[in-house]
Structure 1
Amino acid sequence: MLRTATAVYAVRLSADRRWAELDTWGPRGAEDGPPPLGRPRRTHFITPADAAPAEYLPYGMRPFGGADLVVRRPGGERGVWWTFERATADGDRALRLEFTDDHLGLRVALRYETVPGTDVLLRWAELTCTGSEELRLERLDSAAIGVPVTTGARLTHLTGQWSQEFQRAQLDLTRGRFEIGATQGVPGHAYAPWLAVQDAAEPDEGATPTYGIALEWPGNWHITADAEPGGFVRVRAGRLPHEESIALAPGATISTPRLACAFSPEGLDGLTRVWHTYERRLAGERLHRTRKVLYNSWEATGFDVSADAQLELAALAADMGAELFVVDDGWFRGRQDETGGLGDWQPDPAGFPEGFDTFVEKVRATGMDFGLWVEPEAVSPTSALHAEHPDWVYRIDGRPATLVREQLLLDLGRTDVQEFVLATLDRLLDEHAVDYLKWDMNRPPTERGRPDGGPVGSQDLDADHVAGYLRVLDHLRARHPHVTVEGCAGGGGRIEHATLARTDVVWPSDNTAPLDRLAVQYGYLHAHAPHTMSSWVTDAPGVFDPRPRSLAFRFVLAAAGVLGVGADIRAWTPGQRAEAADWIARYKDVRDVIHHGTARLLNGPGDPACGVQYEEQGGGRVVVTAWSTGRLDGAPLVPGRPARLRLRGLDPAARYTDTADGTVYSGAHLLHSGLPFGWTGRYDADLVVLARQHTAPGPGPH
């Protein structure tokens, strides 16, 4: 029995003690009764292992239904036939199950660990070669889970493309297989390594048991859901080998990435809160750092970075209330456009004639912190770094290199490349007063080879790059704890729990257009917490949804996470800058509620009104960010009737006061009738703060 904050995950051995099975996953007390997935008494044309709700089984023992582990002895058979050795438990918070195949020379330890204060259970596997021969791992999933559904599963996943990440999608899986993943060396823009599972017969919300998984791995990955013949859905997930297999040498151990498994009895909205709680736990003590309002100069100046123009922007940003000024791409030598400079991380003296440090001091004199954009994994073919170390990039001897965005990718799995990146970042952060680092990655690896790294098939380039990336992030945390780190990969291409545990914020998408961004953030907040979501106000027109929206809409949208401004504010009128200052001040008053409160998604981008509700711990304040998603012209069907957002989770007996206009609502009214918004062409978004009234206790019983 593994117990989380409010749930239970119960594991048993099969009757013949050959594998582990899921007994129960659900609210506490659900384990009292027959297992919902049961045990098959007879099987026809498949094996008992194929029909069982097995937690983890190798090919050989589970030949038909999809194995979680495929191992081959070079020149020998493919398959594992293990026996159970032992179970070790740490109360109801951790479990280790060991299985061995002495003939093959393999030991597999299945690991389970709860996360205190959350309804998340972590699962992974440890694979050890105990024999004298090298083994080849063709598949090494982290875990598999049988989800108890009765009429097929409703799967919710996050899909999209560059500039359209985190689009929420759903499908019903009654039979067959569903699979998502990426082989781009990062999780990618097309799919997030996240999945939610519900019974297809149940509604999305309400008292609906909802199960979720998320893979902690910033490299190649997959998630597979199979509607099994036995009447349940079995989900498995893990990393994907770069080559066709991974070598496991005698005496060596490989640990798979951790798979976070979450449960909520309250539908997708409840599952969202479980993930938010978990990610606050990942942040640790850094959660309580103030995530400052930033201004980023990219959209104003592009590659044309000069001290005078940057300082003009800095003065305007500081007057509006920004607390952090970030110089984006173009500040270093050779970076007049995207064809050069990457790898040569020295400030360009032409852009800063009085010296870079003098420029930084002038920015900081405005009262703002200072930040820089970097792309440590990238190198320009024309750079001095590439001329000196052409062997540091991914390449295949005798084959042409593919340029993506006019750049190549460093092999961060190499120790010498890691040392270069560490030394470069240390120098920038030690020599200059930098408080914020935006780490970008704008291309996936293509010709992914390391000619001097041993024979083909002996390398695990994907895992090597991941290890190098995480090593650098860990170093930044330890060596420069005052520096705030933002994670970015051409937008949302590398967002998962390993990155979120080591960064302070991430950039969900390069698309900042209002209605486009609303859809991105709506999906993002299903999987990730508001305190991680960097969002800017810009003047960008819509790409996928070109309908115009007000400056207020853009500010309220960015305020739903960590507020930033990225527009060319020199082109704004004094009135627009004054409006911006007002929104920034309003955001600062409530950002602690947005970043640390309980969040609930209200409707979606396809509804006439969409919002996010944040409730302060203890319920003293409720903040609602709300947007009009429909047409802004023409009369409504019922003139004068406002759109309403029904709030959730409030005390129906309490009374709440709108701090802007003094309107008082009962909790019951807000839950049943909703918060009204009289949208017009000029009023298309709002940030509402409701203060819970302190009432004296009523008379006692007669």
Structure 2
Amino acid sequence: MAITYNEATQIFTLQTAGSTYQMMVGRYNILQHLYYGRKVEGSTMDYLLWSSDSGFSGNPYEAGSDRTFSLDIQPQEYPSAGVGDYRTSCIEVVNPDGTRAADFRYVSHEITAGAYKVTGMPAVYDENGESSTLTILMKDTATGLELVLKYGVFEKEDVITRAAELRNTAKGTISLEKMLSVCLDMGFGEWEMIHFHGRHAMERQMERTPLCHGTVSVGSRRGTSSHHHNPSLILCTPQTTEDAGDCYGMAFVYSSNFLAGAEVDQMGQTRVVMGIHPENFCFRLEPGETFETPQVIMSYSGSGFTQLSHNFHRIISDHICRGKYKYARRPILINNWEATYFNFDEEKILKIASQAADLGIEMLVLDDGWFGKRNDDNSGLGDWYVNLEKLPANLSSLSEKVNAMGMKFGLWFEPEMISEDSDLYRAHPDWALQIPGRKPNRSRFQLVLDMSRQEVRDYLFERMSDILSHAHIDYVKWDMNRSMCDIYSASLPKEKQGEVYHRCMLGVYELLERLTAAFPDLMIEGCSGGGGRFDAAMLYYSPQIWCSDDTDAIERLDIQYGTSFLYPVGAVGSHVSACPNHQTGRITPFATRGVVAMAGSFGYELDLNTLPEEEKEQVKKQVADYKKYYELVHQGDYYRLNAPGDGKEFVAWSFVSADKKQALFNLVITHVRANNKPIFVKLKGLDASAKYRLEDGRVISGSALMNAGISIPSVSGEFRAIQFELKAEE
């Protein structure tokens, strides 16, 4: 069984295909962490625990004269503040009497089949009942507060999920000032932390940092998971590479403020935590009320980062993404944004669509500017009515004309925002988040709607449903183009203002759930100024996310590299855009732009009518190639063959089918030198015993390709790309 409990030793063992997680009900019913790592059989890991009399580390009252047992040095499953553990805590409460302590001890547990749910939030699901859930009840005897720890085990996917729930069973109101989702105490080892930082148009840049005594943390206070720090981390040994070494990944299934980090304590032990950021957070619970944390996905690999990535790719693709387009082939699209920006009418859009249809593209997406008085980004948000000056025949006529060309039709929305210059704001200024008596912080002259309010969500659902029902719309690009601040909800009393961030996020999830239920065939692509909300929770509603507003193919090599560590390639929205690139001014060959964009959900972001005939022919070939390789890209295993900036003059990656009979090799030259030498690349993931035929007719064994590699002839010209298929001989 994936989850077992030994009554004699009081040890819980959680087993996946390649890992073991153990914890025990220790002294004084304290739940102690024992081990998480490479799979072990037939052993209890309580021998790893140790005790010592550590100065200035106090002892539980029950310990009496025994000074060797201290919460300040013991590994725990869910440490709380105020009771003798001075390290990073998971939970901080203010009790009805004003005291600030909670001491949770084990009471009982339950093991059930299937995956647990998290109320009002996305979570890893299990349609076939193959997973298992461990629920552990803890209690603070002084107040009666109950803490429920939830563990989900997806055995074959090598994944464990974590979440927690606090029940106010006290006699008065409590204030919950911090509640994280997970703690992982590592009693020994030297560790490094990998996180993915960035900024708008340069998201998810990998950074690897050795841990030292103290705390290293990243997070967001922006109301989104953010461009600046992705809600994920990897803990690894200094020796870990793509193909060898211990590493642990965590991905937060949440789209708002978060905290993730690691602390090395006085004894050299490492504590890793992740959850909702405690800053600007305070949840009041009346007697009988409950607070649930978002979920964290955890996975371990003993064979390096590639296997860890594959674990996350599978769990997200198969058990987070939902709906028609979870597996169905997504249409190749053309988005008009970089072709027209706000300057368009029906004639211009239809001209782009006509050219796209001739070249084999399958969907046209109408971006920002189709609604309200929206001729720039300073007005109109919230007025979700068609701009009849631009589209006098309405969206229904436009979508019909696009459909008549054999193409699907998609539409851009930014539902969570409101412009000051809008009819909606003039009618309902209280619907915007803003602090009474203060002028709001402006960002594009738009404010954030109070998504915690039911009437706001009802208005958005009504307007979006009306648009989606009266035109044939197959796709929605859901954008969010500013960070949140000026946090105050006119609908909540002053003592609940610390709940606004989280309640707004729950409101966004509720609206998305209503829309996906009402329009089950609709494909949603997430977007927040590009990659500002690229997280597992949004993938629950949108099987792909616009990876970045930076469409420069060479910049995208870094962005897509970092993204690939935890998120599947199919989740990455990636387009061929114009040159010179609109963000960087760089000129990159059209073929290279296509190769880079094929490492994701493929499309175009330019005016096809301006292309020379040679490039239009390349579009036809790229469309045909992407259709040919679609299953390989979306369902195959992804391999990073080297890292951007690792001293080499190229970046290479590949896709390999599950049966290892087909592979697609991709390489982009990033620096051309005079008198250049050939490039040697070792492939990965092939069948060592198979013979592979290359497109040039050569037949080479998988063993040779993986151990000796392949030689790529010197290529002249800036930023050239190479792409070729390998097929196993029958």
What is the CA deviation profile of residues 14-63 of structure 1, one whole-angstrom value per residue up to 9, with x for unaligned ones?
23322x22222123226736458533244332242121121101112343
Partner residue of 1:700? none
Q: Is the Cα–Cα contact under 8 Å of residues 453 and 459 in structure 1 kept in the other structure?
A: no
Unaligned runs of 5+ in 1: 695-702
Equivalent runs, 1:274-293 vs 2, <5 Å: 274-281=311-318, 282-284=320-322, 286-293=325-332
Partner residue of 2:33? 22
Q: Distance in 2 between matches of 1:622 and 1:644?
A: 17
Q: Distance in 1 between matches of 2:538 and 2:27?
A: 40
Q: Is the Cα–Cα contact under 8 Å of residues 560 and 612 in structure 1 kept in the other structure?
A: no
What is the CA deviation profile of residues 112-142 of structure 1, one whole-angstrom value per residue up to 9, with x for unaligned ones?
1113531111111110110121111111011
Q: Distance in 2 between matches of 1:206 and 1:65?
A: 33
Partner residue of 1:124? 163
Deviation at 1:457, TM superposition (A): 4.0
What is the CA deviation profile of residues 338-376 of structure 1, one whole-angstrom value per residue up to 9, with x for unaligned ones?
121111111211112334322211111111100000000
Q: Distance in 2 between matches of 1:317 and 1:32?
A: 62
Q: Is the Cα–Cα contact under 8 Å of residues 551 and 583 in structure 2 kept in the other structure?
A: no
Partner residue of 2:134? 95
What is the CA deviation profile of residues 370-403 of structure 1, one whole-angstrom value per residue up to 9, with x for unaligned ones?
0000000111111111111111000111111222
Equivalent in 235, 241, 253 of residue 290 of structure 2: 253
Deviation at 1:238, TM superposition (A): 0.8
Comparing 184-193 with 599-608, greater Cα deviation is found at: 599-608
2:565 equivalent to 1:511: no
Equivalent in 674, 687, 707 of residue 634 of structure 1: 674
Q: Is the Cα–Cα contact under 8 Å of residues 157 and 315 in structure 2 kept in the other structure?
A: yes
TM-score (ref. length: structure 1): 0.94
2:74 equivalent to 1:52: yes
2:19 equivalent to 1:7: yes
Equivalent in 654, 658, 663 of residue 613 of structure 1: 654
Q: Distance in 1 between matches of 2:216 and 2:655?
A: 34
Q: Secondary structure at the match of 2:149?
A: strand
Partner residue of 1:43? 54
2:222 equivalent to 1:222: no
Comparing 678-687 with 174-183, greater Cα deviation is found at: 678-687
Comparing 228-237 with 246-255, greater Cα deviation is found at: 228-237
Comparing 141-150 with 432-441, greater Cα deviation is found at: 141-150
Q: Distance in 1 between matches of 2:231 and 2:48?
A: 26
Q: Distance in 2 between matches of 1:561 and 1:205?
A: 21
2:576 equivalent to 1:537: yes
Identity of aligned residues (%): 29
| 2:112 aligned partner, one-letter code | D
What is the CA deviation profile of residues 142-191 of structure 1, one whole-angstrom value per residue up to 9, with x for unaligned ones?
110023552x2111110011111010110101321101000111111110
Q: Is the Cα–Cα contact under 8 Å of residues 22 and 45 in structure 2 kept in the other structure?
A: no
Equivalent runs, 1:378-397 vs 2, <5 Å: 378-397=417-436
Comparing 551-560 with 284-293, greater Cα deviation is found at: 284-293
CA-based RMSD of the aligned residues comes to: 1.9
Which portions of structure 1, spanning 4 or more consecutive aligned residues, are displaced by more than 6 angstroms?
A: 542-546
| 2:656 aligned partner, one-letter code | E
Deviation at 1:81, TM superposition (A): 2.3
Comparing 503-512 with 31-40, greater Cα deviation is found at: 31-40
Deviation at 1:74, TM superposition (A): 4.8
Equivalent in 650, 666, 686 of residue 701 of structure 2: 666
Equivalent in 266, 270, 274 of residue 233 of structure 1: 270
Q: Distance in 2 between matches of 1:49 and 1:10?
A: 18
| 2:236 aligned partner, one-letter code | Q
CA separation of 1:476/1:244 partners in 2, compared to 1, >3 Å: closer, same or farther?
closer
Deviation at 1:232, TM superposition (A): 2.6
CA separation of 1:675/1:322 partners in 2, compared to 1, >3 Å: closer, same or farther?
farther
Q: Distance in 2 between matches of 1:103 and 1:395?
A: 40
Equivalent in 176, 191, 199 of residue 137 of structure 1: 176
Partner residue of 1:598? 637
Q: Secondary structure at the match of 2:199?
A: coil
Comparing 491-500 with 547-556, greater Cα deviation is found at: 547-556
Equivalent runs, 1:76-87 vs 2, <5 Å: 76-87=98-109
Partner residue of 1:622? 663
CA separation of 1:491/1:26 partners in 2, compared to 1, >3 Å: closer, same or farther?
same
Equivalent runs, 1:121-520 vs 2, <5 Å: 121-147=160-186, 149-150=188-189, 152-200=190-238, 202-241=239-278, 243-281=280-318, 282-284=320-322, 286-457=325-496, 459-520=498-559
Equivalent in 58, 72, 83 of residue 94 of structure 2: 72
What is the CA deviation profile of residues 495-526 of structure 1, one whole-angstrom value per residue up to 9, with x for unaligned ones?
21111111121012100112111100000011
Partner residue of 1:647? 683
Q: Secondary structure at the match of 1:476?
A: helix
Q: Is the Cα–Cα contact under 8 Å of residues 487 and 501 in structure 2 kept in the other structure?
A: no
Q: Secondary structure at the match of 2:667?
A: strand
Q: Is the Cα–Cα contact under 8 Å of residues 165 and 509 in structure 1 kept in the other structure?
A: yes
Q: Is the Cα–Cα contact under 8 Å of residues 667 and 722 in structure 2 kept in the other structure?
A: yes
Q: Distance in 1 between matches of 2:354 and 2:32?
A: 62
Comparing 160-169 with 540-549, greater Cα deviation is found at: 540-549
Deviation at 1:661, TM superposition (A): 2.3
Comparing 317-326 with 606-615, greater Cα deviation is found at: 606-615
Q: Secondary structure at the match of 1:155?
A: strand
Q: Distance in 1 between matches of 2:460 and 2:579?
A: 33
Q: Secondary structure at the match of 1:627?
A: strand
Instruction: Number of aligned residue pairs: give it.
Output: 685
Deviation at 1:663, TM superposition (A): 2.1
CA separation of 1:133/1:389 partners in 2, compared to 1, >3 Å: closer, same or farther?
same
| 1:12 aligned partner, one-letter code | M
Deviation at 1:284, TM superposition (A): 4.4
